[in-house]
Amino acid sequence: MDTKRTVFPSKGLPYLLVAPQLAITLIFFIWPASQAVKSSFERQDPFGLSTQFVGLTHYLRLFQDPLYLTSIGRTALFAVAVTAISMGVALLLAVAVSRVIRTANAYTTMLVWPYAVAPVVAGMLFWFLFNSATGHLAYLLRYFGVVWNANLNGDHAMILVILAASWKQISYNFLFFLAGMQSVPQSLTEAAAIDGAGPLKRFWTIVFPLLSPTTFFLFIVNVNYVMFDTFGIIAATTNGGPNQATNVLVYKVYSDGFIGLNLGSSSAQSVVLMAFVILLTIVQFRYVERRVQY
């Protein structure tokens, strides 16, 4: 990992600077996480009254379960779709807002504050819109000849959770793209304009490359969001159904552990998921970050 060409020569100061963050991380994240890793090798009743070491049993069982293996592919589809939609739409909106100086303020507000809708309320709103009994969008689709039934049609259910998960993340991405664009020097785009470059060309040759640190940041954050933070939305809309069509890995961790109280297997699943995402992140840092222009 790179630092600056030149750095400050200080022995104590950097430790002091990372100390608060590291202390909280170790106490409230790393330690509990190591407990979760430990329990993935154990079989324990929920109250922790009896514990037996079972080695790799939970892991072996997972990888012999055809349902678990299919849910890996489903998770990949879900992750790619949500990341692409939420980042693509957000970038488009951020570019548009940065072009309209006078009304930028109003648009930004309107685009950002839906993010503050609490997840539990957001799930409810999506149910309101899409349920087969009274939902507007279900009604609208019926008008166009589509019999919308996310309760039984797996494709409909997948579309529903992808839309809901993307919707939740667009405001977030938008805000950071917009912040990133603030730091693109106006002089550069002006110079390019004088050279006769059109808006689209200016965006691709100047603005977008300069946004690459932001894009990389958002890419990592979004992948993590989809992989770990979407079970609430799925719980509020489809419960992983119909017949597992929307049962992505993190939802299974949540439903087996949090609802089913099967702590050992759920821990093993979260370890697998974490290992997978850590691997993915390292690959991203090694290969994608090289293309990032700092």
Partner 1 sequence: MVENRPFLAVLTHLVLIVGVLVIAFPVYVAVIAMTHSKETLSLSAPLLPGGELFTNIALVWNYDPPGMPPFWRMVWNSTWMALIIMAGKISISIISAYAIVYFRFPFRTLAFWLIFITLMLPVEVRIIPTYEVVANLGLLNSYAGLTVPLIASATATFLFRQFFMTIPDEMMEAARVDGAGPVKFFFDILLPLSRTNIAALSIILFIYGWVQYLWPLLVTTREEHFTLMVGVRSMIGLVDVDPQWNMIMAAAVLALLPPVLIVIFMQRLFVKGLVETEK
Partner 2 sequence: MTYPIRSAALAALTLALSTSTAFAQTEINWWHSMGGELGERLEAIAADFNASQSDYVVVPSYRGEYEESMVNTIAAFRAGEQPHLVQVYEVGTGTMMAAKGAVYPVYQLMADHGSNFDPAAFLPVVTGYYTDTEGNMLSMPFNSSTPILYYNKAAFEAAGLDANTPPKTWEEVEQFSQQILDAEAAQCGFTMAYTATWTGTENLSALHNVAYGTLENGFGGLSSELTFNHPIAVRLWEKLAEWQASGIYAYGGPAGGADNAPKFYSGECAMYMNSSASRAGVLANAEGFEVGFGMLPVFGDVAGAPQNSIIGGATLWTLSGHEDAEYDGVAAFLTYLSSPEVQAAWHQATGYLPVTLAAYELSQEQGYYEANPGSDIAIKQINLNPPTENSKGLRYGNMPQIRTVLDEELQAVLNGQKTAQEALDSAVERGNQIVREFEAANQ
Which residues inside 171-200 make contact with partner 1, applying CB under 8 A? Answer: 171-172, 175-176, 178-179, 182-183, 185-186, 189-190, 193, 199
Phi (first) and psi of residue 9, to 5 degrees: -90, 95
Helix (H) or strand (E) holding 52: strand 51-53
Q: Considering the complex, what minimum distance in angstroms separates the CB of residue 152 from partner 2?
A: 5
Round to whole Å and give the CA distance between 95 and 97: 6
Q: Considering the complex, what minimum distance in angstroms separates the CB of residue 283 from partner 1?
A: 14
Q: Considering the complex, what minimum distance in angstroms separates the CB of residue 188 from partner 1?
A: 11
Of 6, 21, 50, 182, which lies in the binding site for partner 2, with binding defined by CB under 8 A?
Answer: 50
Please report whether residue 264 would count as binding partner 2 according to CB under 8 A: yes
- Nearest Cα residue to 125 out of 79, 160, 170, 155: 160
Please report whether residue 68 would count as binding partner 1 according to CB under 8 A: no
| Nearest residue (CB) to partner 2, 110 versus 152 | 152
Rg (CA), the chain: 23
At 224, list the tokens. Answer: 């993590």
Please report whether residue 281 would count as binding partner 1 according to CB under 8 A: yes
Query: Which residues have C-beta within 8 Å of that of residue 91, sequence separation ≥ 6?
Result: 173, 177
The DSSP bridge partners found for residue 43 are 52
Q: Considering the complex, what minimum distance in angstroms separates the CB of residue 154 from partner 2?
A: 7
At 243, list the tokens. Answer: 């017949």
- Nearest Cα residue to 131 out of 168, 156, 166: 156
| Nearest residue (CB) to partner 1, 240 versus 257 | 257
Q: How many CA atoms lie within 13 A of 48 on its CB side?
A: 2
Please report whether residue 85 would count as binding partner 1 according to CB under 8 A: no
| Nearest residue (CB) to partner 2, 185 versus 260 | 260
Q: Considering the complex, what minimum distance in angstroms separates the CB of residue 132 from partner 2?
A: 5
Number of residues that bind partner 2 (CB under 8 A): 32
Please report whether residue 53 would count as binding partner 2 according to CB under 8 A: no
Cα torsion for 172, 173, 174, 175, to the nearest 10°?
Answer: 60
Place of tokens 């104590």: 12
| Nearest residue (CB) to partner 1, 201 versus 243 | 201
| Nearest residue (CB) to partner 1, 133 versus 155 | 133
Round to whole Å and give the CA distance between 2 and 219: 19
Of 85, 141, 274, 288, which lies in the binding site for partner 1, with binding defined by CB under 8 A?
Answer: 274
Please report whether residue 265 would count as binding partner 2 according to CB under 8 A: yes
User: 85 contacts which partner out of partner 1, partner 2, none, CB within 5 to 8 A by kind?
Assistant: none
Please report whether residue 127 would count as binding partner 2 according to CB under 8 A: yes
Site for partner 2 in 216-255 (CB under 8 A): 239-244, 255
| Nearest residue (CB) to partner 2, 10 versus 35 | 35
Per CB under 8 A, the segment of 61-69, 77-85, 152-160, 212-220 that binds partner 1 is 212-220
Please report whether residue 62 would count as binding partner 1 according to CB under 8 A: no
Quickly list DSSP for 144-202: TT----TTT-HHHHHHHHHHHHHHHHHHHHHHHHHHHHHTS-HHHHHHHHHTT--HHHH
